[in-house]
Structure 1
Amino acid sequence: MRVQTRHTPNFGVARVLLSPGEAVQAAGDTMLASSFGITETVPSRGGSRAGKAAPSVFNAPEGGGWIDFAPLAAGDVYPLEFNGGGGWCVSRDAILARPSTVRHDPGWAPLQKLFGADSGFLEHYSGSGPLVLAAQGPVDAFELTAGELVTVRPDFLLAYPDTVQCRLRAVDQSGPQSVRTGEGLALDFAGPGRVLVQARNRRLSHG
């Protein structure tokens, strides 16, 4: 699977190029167009994961093909490349398209430690290939050297790799807090590594 992007960074569209027999997962209502012969398997009505609808699976025919995916809200599209080594923690609402070679790891221990028993605003992925993310506004990045620190609000966070150390804390101990949405919380990161952020607040953008 390969990814080409256009109309970035404000109104991004991702073209996913599939080899013969390859498949990609994505929400059905983000499929803008495709080459002829692409088939879509729609999940059953009861299918859901972490409170959201299960994605459709798009399959390429014998000759391969392409699919254009457009996020439901204006913003950037960003192919995050996995190299088969370490994984990434990704904002739960940021996944636009995922190849079968990139795995979702729901039981990843560091996130369970971060959020406790609750389902938090991050998911962990590993494997190889491009995981296509949808951002609010342009994608920006903090390139952290060893020991360098930065604080990011959850509504602006897009993704960070396993090489980065992360701590979750309350902005105000007496204020409302939610690990589900990130409300009232902040993330402290320590390098080395790259922290990807989006230039607009996700919750406010959807409002």
Structure 2
Amino acid sequence: MASAKTINWDPPDRLSNEAREVWDEVRARGRMHPSVDPEMLETYCALVIRWREAAKKVADEGLVVDGGEKRGAVVHPALAAERELAEQIRKWSPLFNRPAGVRRKAGPMYDATRRSITAAELDTKPEFEGVREAVLTLAWLIDEAQREGLEALQKATYNLIPSYVKGCAELQITPASIPADALKKAGKVGKLTKFGDAAAARRGRVAS
């Protein structure tokens, strides 16, 4: 995947005028997920246009059409296509319509976690979306705690950091463990060590 510095967000010349309008609308909305690249946006634009075409065909010709002498009246074939395309758009939509919320500042934990998720190719897998966003949120909150000072960071050691480590282990990304002395202070040695051990085992399997 291209880095943010090299991505060209100009719509490709091959796009139709209608697809170009969808491209511009999505870009102007400014709610795309950071993992989105131009190829993904082009695919989304194509889905939207095809869905519109299928929907228009059904609207113009009716839900039931003549299937010939042998078949008689049948459900319009484009209706199935319309429904399938609508389902595909629903699945892709979260990548292009992120909820507006608190603006997250860049931070070392968040940035490192984002890189780990990208390296593990988990950016676009919907089955990991919930835990992925939870881990990123925890990473951001840890960054915020570091900005607030020592007291906030100490509190994070007892709740945010253990939850973050557990989330990393569930995603099978690194970091998936924290220093033993930090675990002792948090009183979570037994609970979190198993996640660290599991992560170490996974890394061993990958290395071999």
> If each structure's helix is expressed as a fraction of its own residues, which one has the higher value?
2
Is TM more than 0.5 here?
no
Higher-Rg member (1/2):
2
Q: Which range, TM-score by smaller chain?
A: under 0.3
**TM-score with structure 1 length normalisation?**
0.23
**TM-score with structure 2 length normalisation?**
0.23
